[in-house]
Amino acid sequence: MANSQYGYVKSFETPDRLLPNTWIVIRLDGRGFHKFTARHGFEKPNDKRALDLMNACAEAVVTDLPDVIFAYGVSDEYSFVLKRECELFERRESKLVTTIVSHFTAHYIYLWPQYFPSTTLTMPLPTFDGRAVLYPSTENLRDYLSWRQVDAHINNLYNTTFWMLILRGGRTEKEAERELQGTVSGDKNEILFSQFGINYNNEPEIFKKGSCIYREYETSPPTVDAVEPSNDVPEPLPKSAATKKAILARKSAIAPKAAPKELSKSQLARQRKREMKAKVVVRYVDIIKDEFWEQRTWILG
Ligand code: ATP
Ligand code: ATP
Ligand code: MG
Ligand code: MG
Ligand code: MG
Ligand code: MG
Ligand code: MG
């Protein structure tokens, strides 16, 4: 950019580089989706088409931004976990948040007709807010994800009971709300079972657990040890590197300076290649217990 007498205004910008070597979580949430879902005739309490659409958008984000190593979604929200050593946009918060939120929103609108073929998208159009939160330890990050999954379970049990009372029990919204006031999980399970013959345990996993998106490796995960050491000559750019995105991805693959595990440039480049090739999957599984993470050590290390 050419220098001019006006260039000084650039110095008014606030630096917003996020603390290095910390987990970055970017959470987005649908704005006014209570109204949006009502206007667009979502099935209550869970419109499966909408959850699938949210998942397709999140899958696009995970696929297109290799620094996103895990995503968890429920209702109108999605959390994206960026690897600790992420250097995308020099870790600038506003760049990261706005890129992920607009990437997601663009897909939501683009893919809408695929998931709602008979519902025209109309005002209010879907928009999402976003924020970044930093977690210094893996334990903190695990607790964050557990917090979201517990929340998903509590809300889903409540909503399932609430809507059963209305749709099949003939209550008004006010009556259902009053009936559920002060109840604990056991009470709601009992209402579902005794009044509607529903065993909550048999509800679809996607409703009870929310959705997890990550890279799955068919054989062994890309552990550091599995990557052969070699001299530090950078490999030639992949064919697709004609695009700026690929260059960015490559930059962030070779840039990390604060990475706890120091990999050589070519090791990192190779790891990045495997990541790009890995299959991105959507699963409705428990992420509170250790089992999930122990079986997939390549996600959080
Ligand atoms: P805010 O802008 O503050 O986020 P909001 O109306 O979006 O307001 P939330 O707490 O985010 O409030 O709640 C999301 C709303 O969207 C809830 O009413 C929830 O029932 C509804 N919703 C989200 N996903 C679905 C879905 N798949 N099927 C049915 N309803 C849904
Ligand atoms: P970054 O992701 O870093 O912003 P960028 O490729 O978007 O990269 P910008 O500095 O934002 O880089 O430049 C925008 C680019 O888009 C320029 O090459 C500009 O010429 C082109 N561009 C923007 N608007 C138009 C337009 N209306 N017609 C033709 N070209 C355009
Ligand atoms: Mg520009
Ligand atoms: Mg909100
Ligand atoms: Mg919302
Ligand atoms: Mg929400
Ligand atoms: Mg630009």
Q: Return the residue whose CA atom lies nearest to atom 22 of ligand 1.
A: 75
Instruction: Render pLDDT for 125-140 as a digit per residue (tens, 0 to 9).
Output: 999 999 999 999 999 9
Tell me if 55 CB under 6 Å of ligand 1: no
Residue 29, annotated as binding a ligand: yes
pLDDT at 255 over 50: no
Kindly report which listed range (17-26, 33-42, 207-216, 244-253) carries the lowest average pLDDT score.
244-253
Q: What is the dotted CATH code of the domain comprising 16-214?
A: 3.30.70.3000
Query: Which atom, in ligand 1's list, is nearest to the CA of 49?
Result: 27
Q: Ligand 3 center to residue 46 CA distance, Å?
A: 40
Q: Ligand 7 center to residue 243 CA distance, Å?
A: 13
Kindly report which listed range (52-61, 167-176, 267-276) carries the lowest average pLDDT score.
267-276
The verdict on pTM exceeding 0.80 is yes
Residue 31, annotated as binding a ligand: yes
Q: How many CB atoms lie within 10 A of CB 197?
A: 8
* Domain range annotation of the chain: 16-214
Residue 80, annotated as binding a ligand: no
Kindly state the percentage of the chain with pLDDT values over 70. Answer: 85
Q: How many CA atoms lie within 13 A of 182 on its CB side?
A: 2
More confident call, 82 vs 237: 82
CA gap 192, 180 in Å, rounded = 12
* ipTM score assigned to the predicted complex: 0.91
Looking only at the bridges linking them, the beta strands covering 68-74 and 128-135 are unpaired
| Residue that is written with structure tokens 């299959």 in the block | 279
**Tokens found for residue 232:** 């530090």
Looking only at the bridges linking them, the beta strands covering 68-74 and 23-30 are unpaired
CA gap 109, 125 in Å, rounded = 9
CA 265, 253, 212, 162 torsion-angle sign: positive
Instruction: Output the CA–CA distances (angstroms, integers) from residue 117 to 40, 50, 51, 112, in the order listed.
Output: 12, 12, 15, 8
Q: Determine the pLDDT at residue 221.
A: 54
More confident call, 182 vs 3: 182
Q: Ligand 1 center to residue 77 CA distance, Å?
A: 8
pLDDT at 242 over 60: no
Beta-ladder partners of 54: none
pLDDT at 274 over 90: no
Q: Ligand 5 center to residue 119 CA distance, Å?
A: 20
Residue 33, annotated as binding a ligand: yes
Q: With contact defined as beta carbons under 8 Å apart, do 59 and 280 qualify?
A: yes
Q: Determine the pLDDT at residue 2.
A: 67
CA gap 84, 98 in Å, rounded = 19
